[in-house]
Copies of this chain bind each other. A is one copy, B any other.
């Protein structure tokens, strides 16, 4: 079928390509005419403006907006809301806050426009691997768009089928889910990202413990020089913790075991934050997901004001003077009296 695509970045461009490979027709628009031009050469119909894009689509139109969440998505959808006609549908495939979906859908409905939110996972691998999609919207509209979703989804592929799913919605096994009404798609995608942060941090902490198993502060007979890259690889088969994230980690470590090309600053996006806000609203304890988020916050600071408060207190009650520079890690890691084996002490 025919789809309009607004936003031809890393995600939007590849979605269009995967759709065209699947026999669909795309009318595409981006602020950057060079990007439009490039996709035109691959078979898409280019548009010079949102107005032009709408004009080139047949009613009932479907326009997929694939832009950074926030103001630009908001403005684009507002503009489209004025250009489109009753019965048309706007799809927000970005990382929008789910409550914004609900608000927008309410507004668009006043003009009989439909709105579908699609949490789209897959990153730079989606073109090849397919996109996992979590969809919110009215059944009738989601069904109308099914050919699009079916093409973008990974399909069953070689991943073993889960027993006991007979009689359940077959789309799910192909990698896309109609999760519920508008907002439900991005809500589920939000929690997906929250979990992602937690999983990443669990691996990261484990590797950190392995990496530091050889520090001088440890008793010499309790030190290990471990090969982190090999450990990541060996866990990929037969252990309890294989995952796609572990595959990626093993790849990264195979080519650069020290990861010294990375600074250690870790960004976060809205989903991780909104997940915690949702947990708080629901009174669900979510220690791990929250800790994972806070670790990223901390990674982006040289020091926190909190740490200075601690030092000020320590100076106050104990006369302690904190070091002014990064202390010798060996000294810091292990107070003398803490780790010396009993044999040495007695």
Is there contact, CB below 8 Å, between B196 and A205?
no
> With the chains together, A207 CA to B198 CA distance in Å?
13
Q: Which of A33-41, A45-53, A54-62, A182-190 contacts B (4 or more CB under 8 A)?
A: A182-190
Contact A264 B307 (CB under 8 A): yes
Chain B CB within 8 A of A169 CB = yes
Taking a contact as CB atoms under 8 Å apart, the answer to whether B188 and A210 are in contact is: yes
Is the CB–CB distance between A225 and B168 below 8 Å?
A: no
Which one, B169, B187, B230, contacts A213 given CB within 8 A?
B187
Interface size (A, Cβ < 8 Å)?
A: 190
Say yes or no: A240 contacts B74, CB within 8 Å.
Answer: no
- The closest CB in chain B to the CB of A135 belongs to B234
CA distance A317 to B225 in the complex (A): 29
For the complex, give the distance between the alpha carbons of A298 and B212 in Å. Answer: 14
Closest B residue to A212 by CB, please name it: B282
**Do A280 and B287 have beta carbons less than 8 Å apart?**
no
**B222-A102 in contact (CB<8A):** yes
A73 to B74, CA, bound (A): 33
Q: Assess whether B269 is in contact with A238, with CB atoms less than 8 Å apart.
A: no
Which chain A residues in 135-166 approach chain B with CB under 8 Å? 153-160, 162-165
Q: Which residues of B contact A217 (CB under 8 A)?
A: 282-283
Question: For chain A residues 261-301, which have a beta carbon within 8 Å of chain B?
Answer: 262-270, 273-301
Contact A240 B192 (CB under 8 A): yes
User: Are A335 and B241 within 8 A (Cβ)?
Assistant: no
Q: Are A335 and B269 in contact (CB under 8 A)?
A: yes
Chain B residue with the shortest CB-CB distance to A260? B308
Distance, CA A61 to CA B228, complexed state (A) = 32
Interface residue A83 (Cβ < 8 Å from any Cβ of B): no
The verdict on A224 contacting B184 (CB below 8 Å), with A205-B198, A206-B289, A254-B164 known, is yes
A202 within 8 Å of B (CB atoms): yes
Q: Which residue of B lies closest to A184 (CB)?
A: B224
- Interface set, chain A 237-256, CB cutoff 8 A to B: 237-256
A340 touches which of B71, B213, B266 (Cβ 8 Å)? B71
A208: chain B residues at CB < 8 Å are 279, 284, 286, 304-306, 309
CB distance from A189 to the nearest CB of B (A): 9
A231 to chain B, nearest CB (A): 6
A238 with B316, Cβ < 8 A, contacts A177-B230, A202-B202 known: no
User: Which residues of chain B are within 8 angstroms of A195 by Cβ–Cβ distance?
Assistant: 202-203, 205-206, 241
Is there an interface contact between B194 and A206, defined as CB atoms closer than 8 Å?
yes
Q: A74-B345, A287-B295, A306-B205 are in contact. Are A99 and B191 (CB under 8 A)?
A: no
The answer to whether A224 and B259 have CB atoms under 8 Å apart is no
A314: interface (CB < 8 Å): yes
A179 to B228, CA, bound (A): 10
Bound state CA distance, A305 and B213, in angstroms? 12
Nearest-neighbor residue (CB-CB) of A272 within chain B: B280
Quick check: is A2 within 8 A (CB to CB) of the other chain?
A: no
Using Cβ atoms and an 8 Å threshold, which residues of chain B touch A278?
Answer: 209, 213
With A240-B196, A241-B192 as known contacts, state yes or no: A285 contacts B304, CB within 8 Å.
yes
Contacts of A300 in B (CB 8 A): 283, 326-327, 329, 332
13 contacts between A and B (CB under 8 A): A69-B337, A132-B238, A179-B226, A179-B227, A201-B287, A204-B307, A242-B243, A244-B317, A248-B312, A253-B312, A274-B338, A284-B297, A287-B291
